[in-house]
Amino acid sequence: MAKIAPSILAADFAKLGSEVADICKGGCDFIHVDVMDGAFVPNISFGSAVMKSLNGYATVPYDVHLMIENPDQYLEEFVTDSTAYITVHYEACPHICRTLSHIKEHGVKAGVSINPGTPVSCLEAVLPFVDMVLVMSVNPGFGGQKFIPETAKKVSQLNKLRKDNGYNFEIEVDGGVSDKNSGLLISCGADILVAGSAVFKHEDRAEAIMRIKKVDA
Ligand code: DX5
Ligand code: ZN
């Protein structure tokens, strides 16, 4: 069954602790932490202090998505006992293999993300070493954007490469994911679905999570 990682970018920041407790109770698998620096993407979100302030509320691990330039400088800040994944952008890392190694050296799983304009072929050399590939299905920077349907093809391509070569990485999709497209993404091979608005803007988060996961109530 696909796992779900709600993005707290869509939560009410004034009550982030209880928002996080609510989605954990609702059955999410990870907390997706969207970090934006106003340089790699045209928006600023929050840093590691906000994530760490949630330690008493989150009962599932963090899935950290760094949409920042020079991520090597900040990796360590996001390493906690509850950090499962740290994902960096292929487009922001001139030495991507080194950056992925740095993440792994901290005992955290390493992910690489590609923007909608970056083809899967760019990842050929790193696929044997990554724990996760995050396919952006919107241009990163903002929550609540429209899903770009062409990105589903990349999920199928990655799934085929994984099967053909015996690779072990997980495939995550992020941006505009809802119960309208989650079935397609799961059938293409997605393992983890990120959903911000579709979870947090729904009054019953448990129901929203079940619908995205395609679990019958
Ligand atoms: C976009 C972020 C996403 C986004 C998801 O830059 O990486 O995680 O906030 O939010 P929705 O599901 O609202 O598109
Ligand atoms: Zn994200």
Tell me the ipTM for this assembly: 0.98
Measured distance CA(206)–CA(149) in Å, rounded? 26
Exposed/middle/buried for 182, CB within 10 Å: 0-12, 13-18, 19+? buried
Question: Which atom, in ligand 1's list, is nearest to the CA of 136?
Answer: 7
pLDDT digits (tens, 9 = 90+) for 136-176: 999 999 999 999 999 999 999 999 999 999 999 999 999 99
Residue 202, domain CATH: 3.20.20.70
What is the overall mean pLDDT for the chain? 97
pTM: 0.98
174 is catalytic: yes
| pLDDT tens-place string over residues 171-214 | 999 999 999 999 999 999 999 999 999 999 999 999 999 999 98
Which candidate, 48, 142, 134, places its Cα nearest to that of 88? 134
* Ligand 1 proximal residues by C-beta, below 6 Å: 7, 9-10, 32, 34, 65, 67, 138, 140-145, 174-177, 194-198
Give the residue numbers spanning the domain of 46.
3-213
The stretch 32-49 carries a mean pLDDT of 98
DSSP state, residue 86: E
Is 32 marked within a binding site? yes
What sign does the dihedral 17-52-47-198 (CA atoms) show? Answer: negative
34 is in an annotated binding site: yes
Would you tell me how many other CB atoms lie within 10 Å of the CB of residue 146? 9
Domain count, the chain: 1
Q: What is the pLDDT of residue 40?
A: 98
Q: Which residues of 50-64 are buried (b: 16+ CB within 10 A; e: fewer)?
A: ebeebeebbebbbbb
Under 8 Å between Cβ of 17 and 56: yes
